[in-house]
A and B are shown apart, each in its own frame.
Chain A
Amino acid sequence: MLDFLFGQLVATHATFDVVTLSDRTTQALAEDPWLAAGYALLGLAGVGGFLSLLGMALIYVERKVAAHFQCRLGPMRVGWHGMLQSVADAIKLLLKEDIIPDRADRVLFLIAPVFSIIATTLGLILIPMSPSLQVVDLNIGVIFISAVSSFGVLGILLAGWSSNNKWSLLGAMRAGAQFISYEISVTLSLLVVTLFAGSLQLSEIVQSQQDGWWIWRGHIVGLVAFFVFLIASTAELNRPPFDLPEAESELTGGFHTEYSGLRFSFFFLAEFINMFIASALAATLFLGGWMPFHIGGLHTFNGLMDLIPPGLWFAGKTTFIIFLIMWVRWTFPRLRVDQLMRLEWKFLLPVGFINLFAAATLVITKLYFFPW
């Protein structure tokens, strides 16, 4: 219809070639080892820099958004509208004394935060931010991410155990129980998209949304999977309203009660970057990742949408979901432990399973929107 009205502006929409940083490294290895080393270094530095910069930016945004949700202004003093507040806080954290409790399990206590941050980094390298901006593109990407995110909770459990503090241990146990429960729902909704896309590779899942994003191409099933994923991953992130592992009013600080300085900042950073990863994953799986907004068949419309670079699409979608998670955090009260478990086992899990069966039916009958 649009084609008819506006003429054939763009014949076919552009197809995107995915080139990851690891691909480039492998290619360059044959010709120029130095270039390969350069690419590898770029990847390492990029992930490291991205991790800390994004962490600081997210903390600043969170504080600002939270403040305005509560009729406050948030940080206003350091830099323009408090822009440099996170930098100041980071410097302060790095200069703080690193305290190890007297009867703590020293070795475990020291490596626990490292586990957390490593898990986060491993998740981050897989996120496809644009066709040319992805560090590694594993063919089992979805499985890898859910495996690696369980690694993070190992850090939390170790932290709680090794702190030799009852609050920490209680928080860690809660984190473990919460993670095991909600991981099921996350996986069930990941499986829905995997069924739709027919692939576990993140870049292929993005490519499969060329004609429309899964959240609405998969009828209501996609929508339900999206919300289940959002709720369950918020619970996995230990963010309010599911922040029982560090419930301040009950457990002081939960698993990171005894941590200070750099090690505390590892947990803190991991928590915020995990929020980014969860949002980016939700955007990638359900909202098309870096894929522009396409409607199958409308070439002109799709061509116009292609004018906006994929990186911007990804950033916009991820920002939207991050905002959604923050919005939920600053609106809802915290759940009780039994309510938390009831929500997962009695509601999300059955819904997830029914949804998965519906998705399988949908895939077999090929009843998508825009089946061409």
Chain B
Amino acid sequence: MSYIDPKKSSRSAIEVGGVPVNIVVAPRGATGDKREGLLTIFYKSVKSLLTGMKVTIGYLVRPSTVVTQQYPENRETLKMFERFRGQLRLVKDENGYMNCNGCDFCEKACPNGSIILQDRRNSVSGKSELERYLWRLDSCTFCNACIQACPHDALEWSDGFEAAVYDRRLLVYTLNDYAGPPVNHIKRFKKKAGTPEDRVEELLATMEPRHQYGGPTPLSGKGMPGVPPLKTD
């Protein structure tokens, strides 16, 4: 019998790019090993069966191990786990200003073309900024590439998973709720020496609200109540 013997394995650790990596070398037992005695086999199998039964009874007697959620009864208190990928969302600070400056990295990273960005130039600061952030949930595979690509930590996953709709045009979202300068631009503008208060006001006044469904939608360009038709250009 050949098998992997954990007792004969050697352990070592190396560092790869500052991250410690454990290496376990487990030699296979020689193929010509002597067959174990009947009693040893019996003892080992009974022991491993009992170990299995111990594991399952552990789950049975501890109701805290249950992972099932009583949705929708607990809709109010439902808390998704840390790494849950619900829907894409733009990060906003406490004043409601977003981090995203429309740099296009996420659009380029997306393998499905699920992100479409439109930029504009701010008339006050002269900087390029986000006009509209379109995210197509209908073609997104939740691969996380966009979030990893973002250099400004401007994207995150929300907990929301209730995205079912009757019309697939409603799956095309405008993620930004305003078009205008991101939080970084505003800060830098304020810090610039000798900027009068009314100039800051002027900068903030360039912000325009954007509705979730205010952008272009697919479906052969036809409109529907509350959703304007798709602009193809």
Contacts and interface: CB of A to CB of B under 8 A. Distances in A.
Nearest to B58: A69
B56 A331 contact: yes
Interface of A: 65, 67-73, 76, 327-328, 330-332
Given A327-B53, A331-B53, A72 B60 contact: no
A327 B66 contact: no
Interface in B44-89: 49, 52-53, 55-57, 59-60, 63, 65-68, 70
B172 to A, nearest CB: 35
Contacts of A330: 56
Closest A-B pairs by Cβ, 8 of them: A73-B68, A331-B56, A69-B56, A68-B60, A331-B52, A71-B65, A72-B68, A71-B67
A68 B70 contact: no
- Mostly helix, strand, loop or mixed at chain B's interface? helix
B65 A328 contact: no
A258 to B, nearest CB: 33
Contacts of A67: 68
Contact of B53 (A68, A70, A73, A328): A328
A5 B26 CA distance: 62
Contacts of B65: 71
Interface of B: 49, 52-53, 55-57, 59-60, 63, 65-68, 70
B68 A327 contact: no
Contacts of B60: 65, 68-69
B57 A332 contact: no
B151 to A, nearest CB: 40
A69 B148 CA distance: 38
A42 to B, nearest CB: 38
10 contacts: A65-B60, A68-B60, A69-B59, A71-B59, A71-B65, A72-B66, A72-B68, A331-B49, A331-B52, A331-B56
A68 B52 contact: no
A73 B69 CA distance: 9
Given A73-B68, A330-B56, A331-B56, A68 B63 contact: yes
Contacts of A68: 59-60, 63, 66
B59 A76 contact: no
A280 B35 CA distance: 40
Contacts of A71: 59, 65-68
A332 B49 CA distance: 8
Nearest to A65: B60
A331 B49 CA distance: 8
B65 to A, nearest CB: 5
Nearest to A68: B60
Most buried by B among A67, A68, A73: A68
A76 B49 contact: no
Most buried by B among A76, A327, A328, A331: A331
